[in-house]
Each structure stands twice: as C-alpha cells, then as structure tokens.
C-alpha cells in the first residue's frame, strides 16, 4: 500500500528532513508515526500527499510511483488519500453539509452523488443531526469530525491524520480516535501522526518512531518510547 525505498529529503546541508528511510505499510494497517519536533514527521506527511518530492529514493502509494507522477494525475491520487489536520480547515460561512459537499463539488461530482454521500459520511462520524449547523456552533471535537467526514467523501484507501487531536480535550480525543479505529476496521489504512503518548499507548498497534530524520524504532504492537 505505502512503500518508501531509500527516501531522503534534504532541504540544505544543515537541514535534513528524512535520511535513507525504508518503510512498508500494508493495506488495512493502523500505524502511528511518532517523534519529537523536528524528527521528520511533517516531511513524511508532505511526501505522502505529494506536497513535496524526495531528494532521493522512491515513494509508492497504492501502486502509484509518486516520485514520477505527472502533475495532471496528482488530483486523482489525492482522492485515494484522505487527510485531516490539527486545525480543522473548515469554511465557517458554510454549514456542516456544505463543508462536506464542497470536497465533492470541486472534484466535479454530480449532485445526485453528493446527496447520497454527504449524509452517509456524516452518519459515520455521528453528526447526522448537525448537517445544517455552522462550525461556530460546534465543539472542537465536532469540528474535527466534520473534517474526518470531508476526508471520507472519496472513499479513500488511505487516511492520514496529522495531529488530529492536538486541539482537543481528553473526551473529544477519545471520540476522534474511536472513529479512526472504526474507519480502519472497515478496511481503510490509517496513518496517525501524533505526539500524544496516551493515545499511542492505548491503541496497541504498530508504532514507528522518527528521530532526526531516521526511523529509530518500528514496533508491531508498540508504545511511544521517546
């Protein structure tokens, strides 16, 4: 599903994002990527969503060699990869349903499909009763769940969650993690990038630890060790 072979990302002689990384994530895995600030987590995410390209090595995602991908194919690849961030990136002038719909509209989805998909993904994240609410009237946890719903509209094979609980309290953090586990249960590969030790240790799933651009630990059932 995700293969990194000899990946390095060098910004300058004094700034190395990743160095000679080899990594294989199977279809259907739930993997936590952990590490302190500057460890390479952000660089890794940017490579996976084709915001940046490696200096050396090869990145394969779902059969795509993204080190050689044509610009016109990037939007198609990104529909296979759902992404959620610490800041929810919602459009505050649009309702919950309109925020989720927008991701389909920009991809040219027909109205019939939008009407079918939006209620379904909002039901998955437990917000079927909030379709007509605006983000300002939602809690932080609810806003993050809207962001998750938006990331699911294209039925992605991979969901990358980059510090999704960073702005949430303990209760909302638990709710979001339970949703990610449910999404993974139904077959989506989940890559969770986080610094939350309690979340990682509670998952009891694979944990990959980065430090100064290197993989220093890869545990099948792991803990946050730093």
Compute mean pLDDT per 10 residues along the chain, 226 residues long, and list them. Answer: 95 92 97 94 94 94 86 86 93 97 93 96 96 96 96 95 94 96 96 94 96 96 83
Measured CA to CA, the distance from residue 72 to residue 187 in angstroms comes to 28
Measured CA to CA, the distance from residue 86 to residue 26 in angstroms comes to 25
Under DSSP, the state recorded for 29 is -
Q: Are strands 189-193 and 30-34 parallel, antiparallel or unpaired?
A: parallel
Q: How much is the pLDDT for 71?
A: 86
Q: What is the pTM of this model?
A: 0.94
Given a contact cutoff of 8 angstroms between Cβ atoms, the answer to whether 210 and 216 are in contact is: yes
**How long is the chain?**
226
Query: What domains sit in the chain, N to C, each tagged with a CATH number?
Result: 1-80+158-226 (3.40.50.300), 89-155 (no CATH)
Q: Residue 25 is encoded by which pair of tokens?
A: 């994530």
Q: How much is the pLDDT for 77?
A: 85
- Residue with tokens 């016109």, as numbered in its chain: 72
Q: Residue 215 is encoded by which pair of tokens?
A: 């993989």
Measured CA to CA, the distance from residue 176 to residue 190 in angstroms comes to 13
Q: How much is the pLDDT for 14?
A: 86
């Amino acid at each position: 599903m995700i293969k990194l072979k000899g990946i390095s990302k060098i910004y300058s002689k004094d700034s190395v994002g990743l160095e000679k990384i080899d990594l294989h994530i199977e279809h259907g895995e739930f993997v936590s990527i952990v590490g302190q600030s500057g460890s390479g987590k952000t660089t890794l995410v940017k490579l996976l969503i084709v915001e940046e390209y490696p200096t050396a090595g090869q990145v394969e995602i779902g059969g795509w060699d993204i080190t050689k991908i044509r610009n016109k194919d990037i939007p198609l690849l990104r529909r296979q990869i759902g992404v959620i961030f610490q800041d929810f990136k919602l459009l505050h002038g649009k309702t919950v349903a309109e925020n989720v719909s927008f991701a389909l509209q920009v991809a040219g989805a027909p109205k019939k499909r939008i009407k079918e998909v939006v209620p379904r993904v909002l039901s998955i994240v437990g917000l079927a009763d909030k379709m007509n609410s605006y983000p300002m009237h939602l809690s932080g946890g609810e806003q993050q769940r809207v962001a998750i719903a938006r990331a699911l509209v294209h039925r992605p094979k991979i969901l990358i969650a980059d510090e999704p609980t960073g702005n949430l309290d303990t209760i909302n953090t638990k709710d979001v993690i339970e949703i990610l586990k449910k999404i993974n249960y139904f077959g989506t590969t989940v890559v969770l990038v986080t610094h939350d030790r309690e979340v990682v240790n509670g998952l009891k799933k694979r944990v990959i630890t980065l430090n100064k651009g290197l993989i220093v630990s890869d545990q099948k059932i792991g803990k946050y060790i730093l």
